[in-house]
Structure 1
């Protein structure tokens, strides 16, 4: 152990200018990311309503959360379904579209990148989908289905638990070509072109082999970054659900872990219980990221 600390001290002394440059970032990261997480974990073991001093209750919040809170379990189920479907699909879609667009000439590539990225930064995207899935006969989807004779009366798409989660998944997939998409575009631009020539000499015969043995291994940092972004966005879904299905949604059909967190944290101000919900979500994200990291290490093998 002493030897490791000695090597670390020697590295710090040798590269002290690098640590000085990293110090502002590490200070801000610790202050605004690490410290809030630690404080939230502490509050998760307390009863804290923002009016009284926190009172230690141990595992009571977690016991109530897992055994007595049926709405939270509905949120967990919806979140897992949502993340299992939208996470991998959006991740693969981001890479496939980035890969295809990267083959275009620079001017067309820039235009297509903007076209695909625009929905993720559009401010009126929810309004558009509300018009499409409006519950009256003037809604685009209802009007189309009634015109071709599939249905004979309007469907309340965003008030029916049978449909609302699927619609939210669809909208989220449409919005998913965001940061990960740009990261993949950037990663594809940085792949050393000489690697393809070397691969051809070593027996790489087609584009699929180039993709698996050269492109993907060269993009591991971007692939990991994209995976983190997609996992976080799929597990932390809330804005799409509340904008389309309302809050709370009918029969909690679009209820998620984050909307449950919003309920207790910003409406009821039960901060101890809300911190327990946030901690469960944090552990779920951390576990998912570790699994994906192990899977990405096998790319190219």
Structure 2
């Protein structure tokens, strides 16, 4: 049976050799710059490696330290899960609902609305804007507005006060969330066969919500899956927002995430073995979450 399968695969490659030759550059680059680094990180997670000396085998010590001794990591993983549980699903449904609404418009108006909603995610000035809004003096937009209307008597250091850091980071992430997934949903909605809606009406579908659930979403499952992967990645890999708005480290590590903790050990302390262990844990969590989302999306329209 193994020989037969091997023979079939060989024949398949020979028969479609032109396609495999064209795909080869991508597969080579993907292996060199994605698969190989991931495998190297997993191997290094079982070593002590400081970038100067050759790695030495450490067994499970990095992981034991991570879960039993590193209080900051436990706080970071708690913050990351809170961040992901809130921003992941909310961002995903925001992308889908806004894409669905905008898709109802035609021509230039749809293009303009798409640009307006997508622009914050690609704006280089996004953090500058929010730094002005959340500035801790009386000239910060939020402080100024709250003091003007009598809600505050004195300005608040928003990003230097632990209890405010994570909520504001979540708000900013939601504001920036209409990115690649949003464009994917817009594209997916435009590929749905219009004749399906006519057939659905004949089969008893009575309103737009039933159309969305039984026709639109099942017809764009690949786009839904891609959007889910993008949102999960963004939710668990958050770091820039925390660093730009709250600093690294943030006050009392209130804005610490798994990735900021990883960057601390990887790019500041150069403890690459320990940083690789953090990266491996994050990788496993993201794989598990993706599998769960795939099962959930597999039930859409059933």
5+ residue gaps in structure 2? none
**Alignment of structure 1 residues 182-201 onto 2, 5 Å:** 182-201=183-202
> Matches of 1:251 and 1:236 in 2, distance apart?
20
**Deviations for 1:276-298, whole angstroms, at most 9, x for unmatched residues?**
00001111111111110111110
Partner of residue 100, structure 1: 101
> Matches of 2:113 and 2:297 in 1, distance apart?
28
Partner of residue 248, structure 2: 247
**Alignment of structure 1 residues 89-238 onto 2, 5 Å:** 89-238=90-239
Shift of 1:5: 3.5
Q: C-alpha root-mean-square deviation of aligned residues, in Å?
A: 1.1
State the TM-score, normalizing by the size of structure 1. Answer: 0.97
Q: 3-state SS of the aligned residue for 2:270?
A: coil
> Matches of 2:161 and 2:141 in 1, distance apart?
17
> Matches of 2:203 and 2:11 in 1, distance apart?
41
Length, aligned pairs only:
301
> Matches of 2:279 and 2:192 in 1, distance apart?
38
5+ residue gaps in structure 1? none
> Matches of 1:131 and 1:239 in 2, distance apart?
17
Shift of 1:22: 1.8
Partner of residue 76, structure 1: 77
> Matches of 2:98 and 2:10 in 1, distance apart?
46
**Deviations for 1:173-206, whole angstroms, at most 9, x for unmatched residues?**
0000010010100111111111111212222221
State the TM-score, normalizing by the size of structure 2. Answer: 0.97
Question: In terms of mean alpha carbon deviation, does 196-205 or 13-22 score higher?
Answer: 13-22
**Deviations for 1:154-177, whole angstroms, at most 9, x for unmatched residues?**
111110110010001100100000
Shift of 1:209: 1.0
Partner of residue 264, structure 1: 265
Question: In terms of mean alpha carbon deviation, does 265-274 or 151-160 score higher?
Answer: 151-160
Question: In terms of mean alpha carbon deviation, does 251-260 or 4-13 score higher?
Answer: 4-13
> Matches of 1:64 and 1:100 in 2, distance apart?
49
Shift of 1:150: 1.7
Shift of 1:11: 3.0
